[in-house]
Amino acid sequence: MTGLNGTGAHTAGADKVRTGKPDPAIDRIDVAVYTVPTDAPEADGTIAWTSTTMVLVQAVSGGTAGLGWTYGAPATREVVGGELAPLLLGRSALDVPAANEAMHRSVRNAGAPGLVAGAVSAVDIALWDLKARLLGLPLVRLLGAAREQVAVYGSGGFTSYDDSMMDRQLRGWADGQGIPRVKIKVGESWGGCERRDLDRIRRAREAVGPDCELYVDANGGYTGKQAVRVAAAFADQDVRWFEEPVSSDDLPGLRAVREAVLPDVAAGEYGYDLPYLTRMAAAGAVDCLQADATRCGGITVWLRAAAVAEGLGLQLSGHCAPHVHAHAAAAAPAFRHLEWFHDHVRIENLFFDGTLDPRGGVLTPGADGRPGHGLSLVEERAVAYRVA
Ligand SMILES: [Mg+2]
């Protein structure tokens, strides 16, 4: 679209030259907000919550709609409806990177990171789904597959759970579904409960047995030296992944912990743009870069983050929202795994038909041949949770 005149503006004429007929246009952007109570109080090292909010976008062209979403503040809806939608109406539904760039440029003065980036991300995801549906292709086929299967790890193990609840959840993944990787939260109360953290890691190892990979996530709850000390204390539990041992804002701190501990250090879930993720990866701060397509700018930017990670010899892991990431993950050579996050799996299974099956620890996106990401919203199940 931009190649013929270099302006990046609407170029319906150019579309005609290229394809012989005008591109399908973006006719409508709808947005709705749903707040779903958790099935039990949830907490990690540095925050607690009892509900999760999904901001759901539908991008419509003719009789076809694409679905995208982000998990975040209800105010995200105002950004989608007020700032982004007017910009997109009438644009080609096929040139998603052009739409993404236009959205990103337009929010300069509103402040691009944070919930604004969540809004851009949700729309971008909806546009990729829309394009794949317009072309009748599973999204992974539109993007081009690098692999057939996508590994997942079970993620939950909240610090608010009692021992039996955590056991049940972890065994459900490891034994019930055969997922050979699980993650629990540590760093409880900003690192104030080290003994309980260590006890829970031991219990988690007992629950899943010796052959399951065990991961921990401190959500930035420890200090640097504390993280190294805690890692030494859990060294006999064969923990493979230590996520956000210190704040992800502290790149030298992450790097220092990374150099001092055996598990892979991972971070990146608060990356709202490509430069953030690039800086983190280039700083030597992580063994595995995490990126969240519902925050970093959608599938468009997530795939670029995968290229950045690959270029620096790192792997990329998808943070949360597993059904947003599955198809893109299959298209990224540097991809390691997706987070099968309890909270989001629950909501995505509740709201959508066509969700993926994680048995054996892998998803096979596109296997059913459905176009797009293969999901359809089941309004009658979602409506009870709609708040705006
Ligand atoms: Mg995390």
Find the 369 Cα to ligand 1 centroid distance in Å.
32
For residue 21, what pLDDT is reported? 85
d(CA 99, CA 85): 11
- Residue 87 CB burial class (10 angstroms; 0-12, 13-18, ≥19): middle
pTM score above 0.85: yes
For residue 325, what pLDDT is reported? 98
Find the 294 Cα to ligand 1 centroid distance in Å.
14
Find the 126 Cα to ligand 1 centroid distance in Å.
24
Contact (CB, 8 A) for 61 and 99: no
Do 124 and 217 have their domain in common? no
Find the 13 Cα to ligand 1 centroid distance in Å.
46
- The first and second tokens of residue 73, run together, are 């503040």
Question: What CATH code is carried by the domain that includes residue 103?
Answer: 3.30.390.10
Find the 76 Cα to ligand 1 centroid distance in Å.
21
Which tens digits make up the pLDDT trace of 157-211? Answer: 999 999 999 999 999 999 999 999 999 999 999 999 999 999 999 999 999 999 9
Beta bridge partner(s), residue 152: 338
Please identify, among 136, 156, 187, the residue that sits at the C-terminal boundary of a domain: 136
Question: What CATH code is carried by the domain that includes residue 147?
Answer: 3.20.20.120
d(CA 138, CA 144): 10
Which tens digits make up the pLDDT trace of 288-320? Answer: 999 999 999 999 999 999 999 999 999 999 999
Do 235 and 341 have their domain in common? yes
- Which residue, chain included where needed, has tokens 């079970």? 154
Find the 63 Cα to ligand 1 centroid distance in Å.
38
Please identify, among 136, 152, 167, the residue that sits at the C-terminal boundary of a domain: 136
Do 189 and 82 have their domain in common? no
Comparing CA positions, the residue from 57, 73, 33, 66 lying closest to residue 122 is 57
Find the 220 Cα to ligand 1 centroid distance in Å.
9
Tell me whether residue 3 is in a domain.
Answer: no
Find the 339 Cα to ligand 1 centroid distance in Å.
9
Do 87 and 202 have their domain in common? no
Find the 37 Cα to ligand 1 centroid distance in Å.
20
Domain of residue 89, residue span: 12-136
Residue spans of the chain under pLDDT 50: 1-14
Query: What is the residue-averaged pLDDT of the chain?
Result: 95
Residue 40 sits at φ, ψ, to 5 deg, of -165, 160
Residue 240 sits at φ, ψ, to 5 deg, of -100, -15
Find the 267 Cα to ligand 1 centroid distance in Å.
7
Find the 215 Cα to ligand 1 centroid distance in Å.
11
Find the 181 Cα to ligand 1 centroid distance in Å.
15
Instruction: Write out the DSSP string of 75-122.
Output: THHHIIIIIIHHHHTTSBSS-HHHHHHHHHHHTTTT-SSTHHHHHHHH
* Ligand 1 ion local residues (Cβ < 5 A): 217, 243
Structural domains counted in the chain:
2
Do 317 and 169 have their domain in common? yes
Find the 272 Cα to ligand 1 centroid distance in Å.
15
Do 311 and 350 have their domain in common? yes
Find the 379 Cα to ligand 1 centroid distance in Å.
30
Tell me whether residue 38 is in a domain.
Answer: yes
Do 227 and 353 have their domain in common? yes
Tell me whether residue 1 is in a domain.
Answer: no
d(CA 188, CA 242): 14
Find the 110 Cα to ligand 1 centroid distance in Å.
27
Find the 219 Cα to ligand 1 centroid distance in Å.
5
**Nearest 10 degrees: Cα torsion 371, 373, 378, 381:** 160
For residue 18, what pLDDT is reported? 63
